[in-house]
Amino acid sequence: MKRFLRQCVSVLSVLVLSASLLPMEDAYAGGGRGGGGGASRSGGFSRSGGSRGGGASPRVNTNVSTQNRGNFKNYSQPSYNRPQGQQNRQSNVQNRQGERQTTQQNRQGERQTTQQNRQGERQTAQQNRQGERTERTDTRQGERTDRQDNRQEGFTDRQNNRQDFIDDNYGDRWYGGGWYGGGYYVPPGWGWVGLTTGLVIGSAIANPPPYYDTVYVGSTSYIYSDGIYMQPSGSEYTVVAPPVGAVVNYLPDGCSSSQVNDVVIYNCSGIYYQPFFQNGSTVYQVVQL
Amino acid sequence: MFRNQVFILLLMTCASPMLGVSGVLAQTSTSSATQAETGLKTTEQILNQVCDFFKAQKSFTYEMDITYEDVLDSGSKVQYSAYQKTWVEKPNRMRSDYVGDQRVTRFYYDGQNFSLFAPDLDYYATKAAPESLDAVLDKIDQKFGITIPMSNLVASDPCADMKTDVRSMIFVGSNMVNRIPMYQILMEGQERDYQIWVTRDPQPLLKKAIITYKTLPGSPQYTAVFSNWNFNPNTPAETFTFSPPVGAKKIEFLPTQVLPASVTGGASQNNVAEPTEPLPANGTNNLPQQW
């Protein structure tokens, strides 16, 4: 015990000595102010940008964005980009809880049945073992082949998805859908919605697009994705004409810009957008000419 | 070999309580005599040193590497990055170049006007500005929704708002930033938690800050790692004045949009800025007559 205490005392004295020396070490390690890592690209503050203005990425459905935050001062920034997202999540949580309860009940039921079956099985198991062994070997071989096939299919699917994603963003440029007089082209990432001939105003889809922003004009909300505007209608989403006054974070593909009387206007196949700064980023508002 | 292991074990055994004690000492008020003997400071003293130091600086530059989180509808988080260089000359000059995953902008304030420039799109907007940094930072936020990350550091009282919000302060320990141990302090606020890492120099310097938005779904975080502090810069005056490059196009600011009451649950949301101008509903307000 005495020896342990002596060792502790010596260790503590070493620590105290080290503590008194540490600030000196830091002073040297820091190299004065401005040391440490970080970017030293004084002249490199540039980045080749696409046509995206800013805000949320069009590829994901952002519920909360902190892009325009990062201050100790409590500046007034919107906390929710898409409030309905939270409602969806709440219902998901409720569903999950329900699922959990059902699963637990099922498990209990399964356990009882399994125990009864086991007792019966034991009696006949010994007799059947010999025959089962042969069958199992055959089955295993079959299962192996199936699994390999499945893996191969999964791998191919994933590759296809990746390929789509890369192509869509090739060269840091966003390729979205577009308006072409009689209707919209279906944007590249939208294949699964089941429409192959284009999205005409008034047409309905069963599911929302894979990625979208919610935009408001007054108190009316619209779903925006790749130049296409939709509104929920019953259990479906109906394609509507681009609402004048809507403000979006990015333009669809195929827009051309012109400048008249110092005002920049984008013509996106007959739909006109004017660029603005809003919340520190470039946005585009649907305007009527 | 065995002796070394025993020594390390003893070191850990004995050092743990001691480190705990030093943490407590750093957290709680001790007599000035004890402080003088140990060289320890309270957490509040360290924070005040940092805040007072920034308050006293008139001219400085710094860089930040930023990461921030977005929360998706699915609840998953995605992280984006940015870096920013800031030039400050109190009381009325500032510039901030921001290069991020989601936007690239430069902010200029020369005491008379402020400008926002998007170099990748060649768009800019310029407005008359108030005469002080404090006033212009408030104006660009309240009227145009522009927030310059960590711009509270350039305000006349950099920590005033944070101190008002903080309910408790905890000394976390000596933890590393870029491989160098720093004092890490956690401050718990009403809706946000703040963590800062400051050097253990006699004059502590801010090296890292994290803001956790704990009341938002998913509690996203905003992280800034500071570097290249320069408190004696020789910044040319033209750095703060925006001169539109050839071919750059002027655009306008759009007021921050207010979400409808039906979306915010019947009441105006706390964090949603009130516009000072009505949002154009038909989109024609800014167009020339012939359009």
pLDDT, one tens digit per residue, over B218-239 is 999 999 999 999 999 999 999 9
CB-facing half-sphere around the CA of A100: CA atoms within 13 A: 6
User: Residue A233: its pLDDT value, please?
Assistant: 87
Distance from CA of B11 to the nearest CA of A (A): 6
Q: For residue A119, with 0-12 CB atoms within 10 Å meaning exposed, 13-18 middle and 19 or more buried, which class applies?
A: exposed
DSSP state of B144: H
Do A15 and B15 contact (CB within 8 A), yes or no? yes
How far is Cα of residue B279 from the mean position of the Cα atoms in its chain?
Answer: 29
CB-facing half-sphere around the CA of B131: CA atoms within 13 A: 0
CA–CA separation, B89 vs B235, rounded Å? 9
Q: How many residues does chain A have?
A: 289
User: Residue B267: its pLDDT value, please?
Assistant: 40
E-only strand ranges, chain B: 59-72, 77-89, 93-100, 104-109, 113-118, 123-128, 168-177, 180-188, 192-198, 206-213, 221-230, 249-250, 252-253
Residues 6+ apart with CB under 8 A from B185: B43, B46, B47, B169, B170, B171, B172, B195, B196, B197, B198
Could you tell me the two tokens for A247?
């403000």
pLDDT at residue B58 greater than cutoff 80? yes
pLDDT band at B95 (very low <50, low <70, confident <90, very high): very high
CA–CA separation, A30 vs A51, rounded Å? 41
From the list A54, A216, A259, the residue facing B260 with the nearest CB is A216
- Count of other CB atoms within 10 angstroms of residue B106: 18
Q: Spell out which residues of chain A touch residue B74, defining contact as CB-CB under 8 Å.
A: 61
Give percent of chain B with pLDDT exceeding 70: 75
Q: ipTM for the complex?
A: 0.76
Do B254 and A276 contact (CB within 8 A), yes or no? yes
User: Residue A185: its pLDDT value, please?
Assistant: 59
User: Residue B65: its pLDDT value, please?
Assistant: 98
Integer-rounded Cα radius of gyration of chain B: 23
Instruction: Give Dmax over CA atoms of chain B in angstroms.
Output: 90
pLDDT at residue B38 greater than cutoff 60? no
Distance from CA of B255 to the nearest CA of A (A): 7
User: Residue B89: its pLDDT value, please?
Assistant: 97
pLDDT at residue B160 greater than cutoff 50? yes
Instruction: Give Dmax over CA atoms of chain A in angstroms.
Output: 94
Q: Residue A62 belongs to what H/E stretch?
A: strand A62-64
Q: How many residues does chain B have?
A: 291
From the list A22, A61, A245, the residue facing B200 with the nearest CB is A22
Q: Nearest Cα to B188, choosing from B156, B155, B210, B157?
A: B210
Q: Spell out which residues of chain B touch residue A277, defining contact as CB-CB under 8 Å.
A: 116, 118, 123, 125, 144, 146, 251-254
Could you tell me the two tokens for B63?
């860089």
Q: For residue A80, what is the nearest residue in chain B, using CA coordinates?
A: B216
The pTM of this model reads 0.66
Say whether A22 and B256 touch across the interface (CB within 8 A): no
Could you tell me the two tokens for A232?
């929920």
- Report the phi/psi class of residue B26: left, alpha or beta, with left for phi > 0 and alpha for psi in -120 to 50: alpha
How far is Cα of residue A53 from the mean position of the Cα atoms in its chain?
Answer: 18
From the list B103, B159, B222, the residue facing A70 with the nearest CB is B222
pLDDT along chain A (289 residues), means of 10: 55 45 34 28 41 51 80 60 36 41 51 54 53 53 52 42 38 43 55 54 79 89 89 88 92 84 86 93 92
- Give, in order, the Cα–Cα distances in Å from A85 to each of A20, A162, B71, B217, B285: 54, 26, 10, 10, 32
